[in-house]
């Protein structure tokens, strides 16, 4: 097969591993910098160009689209879909999961466990918002944050009020969430490929840190999931419509709660923690599923 990896940097661990796994299984693979792709939108023959070259003949495309390039990246991916190329994750599914509010609403509609979550746009309603999510302590998250930046634990109602007020005052959108104290500064990353959780790791924050992000000094180890956790991860992936994703779960007293569904989950941490060949599983999934025109976004061909 001829496979494209949409990635901004071919030296990133995940990109390198996907290329290596595809080549090992006898495929032709190319890394394309999504921001350098440009397109013509015609009803008959959608095209994508890169530095004057017409990109064509790809059987499958693996989107590795960072949060900061979601808008343009999903447009390029959509163009591939219109040309009939099979996307590992569809553009609509990526957009759905990147919008944290929309993702929460969809997951809750399916009855999937979530931390009690509220969001507001105007500072006038902060007091009631805090009451709605059960009062302090609570977690306040900047909607645009990643890697734990912009995730704040407010221990008291007063602290929560000031932080929310400050964020909203800066015109930043926030989400306010029940603090799952019993998770003990740990979360579980479930790596989903198709209908299976192929690997899972527990990330533990540094002593005194409630955020478990590896970028913030957290450590990761292999973990055995309960049946309920496995089911929750698969249902969350399914709700988003993602074939491959990382579902982040907190172990709450009332059962697993989903914090986030990540459509471009990194491979480095999970392959290191579990010793599994996740890149290989992804390529095998593509081999089984990639068919010309097997996309929901249709084009003019």
Question: Where on the chain is the footprint of ligand ADP (CB under 6 A)?
Answer: 115, 139, 141, 145-148, 151, 177-180, 183, 187, 205, 210-213, 248, 250, 259-260
Which is closer to ligand ADP, CB of 103 or CB of 278?
103
Which is closer to ligand ADP, CB of 176 or CB of 198?
176
| Alpha helix ranges (H) inside 110-220 | 126-132, 157-169
Least distance between ligand ADP and beta carbon 269 (Å): 12
Least distance between ligand ADP and beta carbon 12 (Å): 18
Q: What whole-number distance in Å separates Cα of residue 213 and Cα of residue 210?
A: 9
DSSP H or E segment with residue 269: helix 268-274
Which is closer to ligand ADP, CB of 141 or CB of 230?
141
Which is closer to ligand ADP, CB of 183 or CB of 273?
183
Q: CB-based burial of residue 129 (10 Å sphere; 0-12 exposed, 13-18 middle, 19+ buried)?
A: buried
Least distance between ligand ADP and beta carbon 209 (Å): 9
Q: What whole-number distance in Å separates Cα of residue 3 and Cα of residue 184?
A: 41
Angle at 14 between CA 8 and CA 19, to 5 degrees: 85
3-state secondary structure of 93: helix
Which is closer to ligand ADP, CB of 260 or CB of 271?
260
């Amino acid at each position: 097969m001829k496979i494209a990896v949409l990635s901004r940097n071919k030296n990133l661990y995940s990109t390198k591993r996907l290329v290596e796994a595809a080549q090992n299984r006898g495929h032709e693979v190319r890394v394309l910098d999504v921001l350098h792709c440009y397109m013509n939108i015609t009803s008959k023959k959608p095209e994508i160009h890169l530095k004057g070259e017409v990109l064509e003949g790809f059987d499958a495309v693996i989107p590795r689209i960072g949060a900061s390039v979601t808008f343009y990246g999903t447009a390029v991916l959509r163009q591939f879909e219109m040309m009939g190329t099979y996307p590992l994750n569809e553009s609509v599914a990526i957009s759905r999961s990147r919008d944290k509010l929309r993702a929460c609403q969809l997951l809750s509609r399916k009855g999937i466990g979530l931390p009690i979550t509220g969001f507001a746009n105007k500072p006038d309603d902060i007091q009631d918002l805090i009451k709605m999510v059960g009062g302090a302590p609570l977690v306040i998250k900047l909607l645009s944050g990643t890697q734990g930046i912009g995730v704040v634990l407010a221990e008291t109602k007063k602290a929560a009020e000031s932080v929310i007020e400050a964020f909203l005052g800066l015109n930043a959108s926030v989400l306010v969430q029940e603090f799952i104290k019993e998770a003990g500064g740990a979360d579980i990353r479930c790596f989903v490929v198709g209908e299976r959780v192929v690997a899972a790791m527990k990330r533990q924050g540094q002593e005194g840190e409630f955020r478990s992000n590896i970028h913030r000094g957290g450590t990761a180890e292999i973990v055995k999931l309960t049946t309920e956790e496995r089911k929750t991860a698969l249902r969350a992936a399914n709700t988003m419509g993602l074939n491959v994703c990382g579902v982040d779960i907190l172990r709450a007293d009332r059962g697993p709660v989903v914090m986030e569904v990540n459509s471009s989950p990194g491979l480095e941490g999970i392959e290191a923690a579990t010793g599994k060949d996740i890149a290989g599983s992804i390529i095998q999934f593509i081999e089984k599923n990639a068919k010309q025109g097997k996309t929901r976004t249709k084009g003019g061909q």
